[in-house]
Amino acid sequence: MFKKNRIIKEEQVQFSIDSIYRGHHEVTYKGIKAIRCPFDYVIYQMIINEVKPDLVIEIGTNIGGGALYIADLLDMNGKGVIHTIDIVDMVDAKVREHNRIEFFTKGWLDYDLELTKGFNNILVIEDASHFYQDSIGILNKFHNVVSKDSYFIVEDGIINELGLEKDYKGGPLKALREFLPNHPEFFVDRKWCDMFGINATFNVNGYLKKK
């Protein structure tokens, strides 16, 4: 975060991907850490309202602030549940209480796709380790359960822009480059990616709509 007492020129405006990246680690929802880019919060709200999913699968729970936000959006729709998956159980007590959230703590590989049976409108969010191997594995495992006209959201392709591509072995963008040519049933929905500027999102080319 910027130092609170630093001197700024009057009416100065100065922000960048780096400053938004620093800030997004400070974001909370209802007081709970909810690591997501602010642009993407707005986009999520609009997508959940548009799609009105009956099941959201979020891979990567962390403290659960993101899951809580989505669960509240489902509340506003009056329907839907969220299956949120992690490899650790560090969920805030307030999140645990929400009756639209179901928790899975054995990782995405262990999640049984049979659990999606009976749902008609499924949206999937890949927000796990951001390593290429996880990203491509998640895309390959979950793409079939995404419903027509719904989304597969792949988080945090922004790591390339931040110079972290090598650390993540190519990250989500390498996975997308590999996945998309083999899956013409998905297209990158520019409506969301470019809403605030070209790929002005942390989910670079990451809003995949199913035809």
Ligand X SMILES: C[S@@+](CC[C@H](N)C(=O)[O-])C[C@H]1O[C@@H](n2cnc3c(N)ncnc32)[C@H](O)[C@@H]1O
Q: Which chain residues interact with ligand X by CB under 6 A? A: 34-36, 58-62, 65-66, 85-88, 107-108, 127-129, 134
Nearest in space to 137 (alpha carbons), one of 122, 146, 147, 126: 126
- Closest to ligand X by CB, 62 vs 116, is 62
H helix or E strand, kind and range, residue 46: helix 38-51
Nearest approach in angstroms of CB 142 to ligand X is 12
Helix-strand-coil split of the chain, %, nearest 5: 35, 15, 45
Contact of 125 with 145, CB cutoff 8 Å: no
- Closest to ligand X by CB, 128 vs 208, is 128
Contact of 141 with 148, CB cutoff 8 Å: no
Nearest approach in angstroms of CB 20 to ligand X is 15
Q: Which residue is nearest to ligand X (CB)?
A: 66
User: Sign of dihedral through CA atoms 53, 55, 57, 63?
Assistant: positive
- Closest to ligand X by CB, 56 vs 122, is 56
Nearest approach in angstroms of CB 30 to ligand X is 12
Nearest approach in angstroms of CB 7 to ligand X is 33
Nearest approach in angstroms of CB 160 to ligand X is 16
- Closest to ligand X by CB, 91 vs 208, is 91
H helix or E strand, kind and range, residue 179: helix 171-179
Nearest approach in angstroms of CB 126 to ligand X is 10
- Closest to ligand X by CB, 92 vs 189, is 92
* Residue-by-residue DSSP string for 100-114: TEEEE-S-GGG--GG
Q: Say how far apart CA 182 and CA 194 lie, in whole Å.
A: 23
